[in-house]
Structure 1
Amino acid sequence: MDFDPHLALFWLKKLASVAMLPPLLPFLLILAGLLLKNRKPRLCTATTWTGLIVGLLTITPYPVGEALRLLEPRSPLAITDLEHAEAIVVLGGGRMSNAPEYDGDTVNRYTLERLRYAARLTRQTGLPLLVSGGAPAGDTPEATLMKAALQEDFGVTVRWKEDRSLDTRQNARYSAQILQQQGIGSILLVTHAAHMRRAQIEFESQGIKVIPAPTAWQGPRAGDEDRGWPALPSPSAAYAGWYALYEWLGLLAYRLSR
């Protein structure tokens, strides 16, 4: 098998993100503190407590919500913006392997959230639809699974399929090539609200005008302030905390790579 530097970089970034994000990050900090117990007691205490605090902050709704508030758009797509778009682009969010009820691989629930909204917009506007997502492990491209779900489960036709990308930057690069060949310069971009800022930056850097069409907000929304005391740590907050830190890390990586 030929060496693919783009694929190697993809897996290297994945491994780095595992170490730099919860749930592993707090445990690594705590472990580092314990290893320093005999040699540097003060550093041991500081590192261990840092791990505990980081772990707690990333599973508690209020700090997680504040991290998401700065990432997610304040409002959904406005109806008046629909007339300015020439196509809809929906980005893949992951796959489910060996789903027994589907006799094989299919999209995961995060991709499905995006596809549901993309299908709704397609019916509202009649705009052509592009799905974007590759196959880092060399199996069925995510875009192929997305196309099947849209056509079989939502009854929506997919015009274009971009199936080479391994990350958001490549989503934008390869999708832009398809769109520009068709004379399309303005799109409705569908992805999770927390991912929208990074995705929009990447597409606009390729010369595509983006009209954000975010979905699946995880941070605070209007009316949440009326629900009383902040909620306690929970599994949903833990996932949202991971997602928020992942996106902030992605934005940092983008700035460092410019």
Structure 2
Amino acid sequence: MQDLGAWKPLIGALLLPPVPWLVLVLVGARLILPRRNLGFFILLLGVVGLWMGSCSGTALWLQDQVLRPPPALLGETQDRLTAEGRAYAQRVALATRQGRTPPSPSVGIMVLGAGLVPRAPEYGVADLPHYFAERLRYGVWLGRQTGWPVGASGGVGWAQKEVQIGPAEAEVAGRVAQLAYGVPLRWIEKSSVDTRGNAAASVAMLADQGVTEIVLVTDAFHMPRARRAFEQAAAAWAARAGKPVPTITPAPMKFWGKDANPVLAWMPSGAGMANVRMACHEWLGLLAGS
């Protein structure tokens, strides 16, 4: 299983845009002389695919119509978590005054990893890429708003597993949270290599400590697959432990929105290409059950 997982980055790179469209362009160019009409059609199909696969409008359509992430947490659910968090803080304060062991939290905020920079030249140490950094910032903010503790999940991904020597993603997140925000992470899950591993290890870690609701923080495009993995892991943990299934509450962030100029939404851009690629990655992951 581990050997198969190690091939995931390469397989994904070959299946995700722009590689399939580039292959069509090459095939079409090769066929233009012997079979002009067919070659031109395939070439045109590849060019159209490259164009549409580089548009932010395509990414937005994939997000809203294919991936369909849940809405942002802000609102009634966050208000509930805040009220419960304040009640929990009061119980902790009372137990501390009475010299008793503070109660364990029933809610935990878990931020999913998104890779790392093994050595950032400006810092001289490992750092978080922008996806993970933004997830962590939102997770810390959510923890401050609601009063519930925060954790991070992420070991060493398949793409870096054979070459990386150093801290895991979650360990780097713990250092950044402490130094940049002054917030120590309560949970550091550093054994996982992918989203399913994040889910299995995080659910077991938090549920074994009495957490009955996990607030899951990740990008909106990643949330459908992550949520499914965490709900499956929660059900599996409950079956093993003979206890109620922990609740998974999605807290998606970084939704893709409409461009101010609708024409620009259908003009190729680097950001559009990156977002389409990520959306396709998530869609393939959902289809493959990973």
What's the TM-score once normalised by structure 2's chain length? Answer: 0.78
Letter in 2 for 1:197: P
Return the match for 1:213 from 251, 265, 269: 251
Aligned ranges 1:132-211 → 2 under 5 Å: 132-136=153-157, 137=161, 138-139=164-165, 140-207=167-234, 208-211=246-249
CA gap 1:119/1:72 in 2 versus in 1, 3 angstroms: farther
Alignment-derived partner of residue 253 in structure 1 = 288
Aligned ranges 1:31-180 → 2 under 5 Å: 31-37=26-32, 41-70=36-65, 71-73=67-69, 75-82=71-78, 83-84=80-81, 86-136=107-157, 137=161, 138-139=164-165, 140-180=167-207
Return the match for 2:9 from 7, 11, 14: 14
Deviation at 1:219, TM superposition (A): 3.9
Output the CA distance in 2 between the equivalents of 1:212 and 1:132.
Answer: 15
Deviation at 1:19, TM superposition (A): 0.8
How many residues align? The count is 245
Contact 1:72/1:196 (<8 A) preserved: no
Alignment-derived partner of residue 262 in structure 2 = 229
Contact 2:136/2:173 (<8 A) preserved: yes
CA gap 1:31/1:11 in 2 versus in 1, 3 angstroms: farther
CA gap 1:179/1:141 in 2 versus in 1, 3 angstroms: same
Return the match for 2:275 from 240, 248, 251: 240
How far does the alpha carbon of each residue in 1:53-83 deviate from its partner, in whole angstroms, 9 at most, with x for none?
A: 2111111222221111132536311343233
Output the CA distance in 2 between the equivalents of 1:43 and 1:12.
Answer: 34
Return the match for 2:21 from 10, 23, 26: 26
Mean Cα deviation higher: 100-109 or 42-51: 42-51
How far does the alpha carbon of each residue in 1:23-75 deviate from its partner, in whole angstroms, 9 at most, with x for none?
A: 32321222233344456555433332222121111112222211111325363
Larger Rg: 2
Deviation at 1:249, TM superposition (A): 1.1
Contact 2:115/2:156 (<8 A) preserved: no
Deviation at 1:22, TM superposition (A): 1.9
Where does the alignment leave 5 or more consecutive residues of structure 2 unmatched? 82-105, 235-245
Alignment-derived partner of residue 103 in structure 2 = none
Output the CA distance in 1 between the equivalents of 2:287 and 2:36.
Answer: 32
Mean Cα deviation higher: 41-50 or 130-139: 41-50
Output the CA distance in 2 between the equivalents of 1:46 and 1:63.
Answer: 22
RMSD: 2.0
What's the TM-score once normalised by structure 1's chain length? Answer: 0.87
CA gap 1:56/1:122 in 2 versus in 1, 3 angstroms: same
Deviation at 1:150, TM superposition (A): 0.9
How far does the alpha carbon of each residue in 1:130-188 deviate from its partner, in whole angstroms, 9 at most, with x for none?
A: 21011132432111111111111111111111111111111101111101211212111
How far does the alpha carbon of each residue in 1:102-152 deviate from its partner, in whole angstroms, 9 at most, with x for none?
A: 112211011011011001011112212221011132432111111111111
Contact 2:70/2:252 (<8 A) preserved: no
Contact 1:191/1:213 (<8 A) preserved: yes
Percent sequence identity over aligned pairs: 34
What SS is found at the alignment partner of 1:206? helix
Output the CA distance in 2 between the equivalents of 1:253 and 1:43.
Answer: 32
Output the CA distance in 2 between the equivalents of 1:156 and 1:72.
Answer: 32
What SS is found at the alignment partner of 1:157? coil
Deviation at 1:197, TM superposition (A): 0.7
